[in-house]
Structure 1
Amino acid sequence: MFNNKVGSKTVTSSFAPNSASTVELKPSYNIPIVLVILAIPLLIVQPWIGFVVALFGLFLMFQALTLRLQFSATDLDIYRGEKLIRRFPYQEWQNWRIFWNGIPILFYFKEIKSIHFLPILFDPKTLKACLEERCPRI
């Protein structure tokens, strides 16, 4: 399902994305949940490492709950609630990649002036479909 922003409301549809619509990715809690579960036995064996892993898992859970990625016709936008916190225009992208296709955990993209690594906290299939449509790999 894809959320297309129309005016001030979000329209949900099951159609494939097109470059003219805005697609909002649904959150995925897979990585945070795995980290928190992994931290439980680590807390017994190595308490400090287990604590750090659990804390990181909870931080990623918070990020998945609060951040929204939207693919518009021209940009990848990151929102916290209704506030736009970062915009990445596709015209500045040089390359992108999703690491470990079987179990996608990391999204990389390179802009003209910077490189970004993001944990996959969003639906990886929709992420890949939007990337392939809006920013074909170089």
Structure 2
Amino acid sequence: MPIFLILGACVLSVVSLWIAGVVAILGLFLTVQTFLIRLQFTDKSLNVLRSGKIIRSFPYSDWLNWEIFWSKVPILFYFKEVNSIHFLPIIFDPKVLADCLQKYYPR
């Protein structure tokens, strides 16, 4: 998905090099994150891993709901816990994400 930002930056370079540069940097950042960050669904929690190490765990018992925004072009994953709200850019397969969410925390 981040490749679309990089391609979009190429198109935007006709309009503005500054805007194209910002979009390209965002695309490159998300590309790097695609290789470093992983989500791990367990029976009790959603874990966020960076380079194989758990950096954050979100127990399903604290979740209130979740949503994948803009289903035609899924770009944002949202979930709400008892004390906080989380938004994650979708830099992975949205169908696999939805299937895992339905399996571990169905609506």
What is the TM-score with the length of structure 2 in the denominator?
Answer: 0.95
- Which of 65, 84, 106 is matched with 2:76 structurally? 106
Are 1:53 and 2:23 matched, yes or no? Answer: yes
Q: Deviations over 1:62-87 (max 9, x none)?
A: 11111111101101001111211110
Identity %: 54
Alignment partners' CA distance in 1, 2:40 and 2:81: 17
In 2, the alpha carbon distance for the partners of 1:62 and 1:84 equals 18
Q: Which has the higher contact order (CA 8 A, sep 6+)?
A: 1
4+ long deviations beyond 4 Å: none
The structure that has the greater radius of gyration is 1
1:1-138 paired onto structure 2 within 5 Å: 30=1, 32-137=2-107
Q: Distance between the aligned counterparts of 1:122 and 1:39, measured in 2?
A: 20
Higher helix fraction (1 or 2): 2
How many correspondences in the alignment?
107
Over residues 77-132 of structure 1, what are the superposed CA-to-partner deviations in whole Å (9 max), with x where a residue is unaligned? 01111211110000000010001112211100000111011111122111101111
RMSD (Å) for aligned C-alpha atoms: 0.9
Cα distance between partner residues in 1 of 2:66 and 2:74: 14
Gap runs ≥5 in structure 2:
none
- Report the secondary structure of 2:14's partner residue: helix
Paired amino acid for 2:57: R
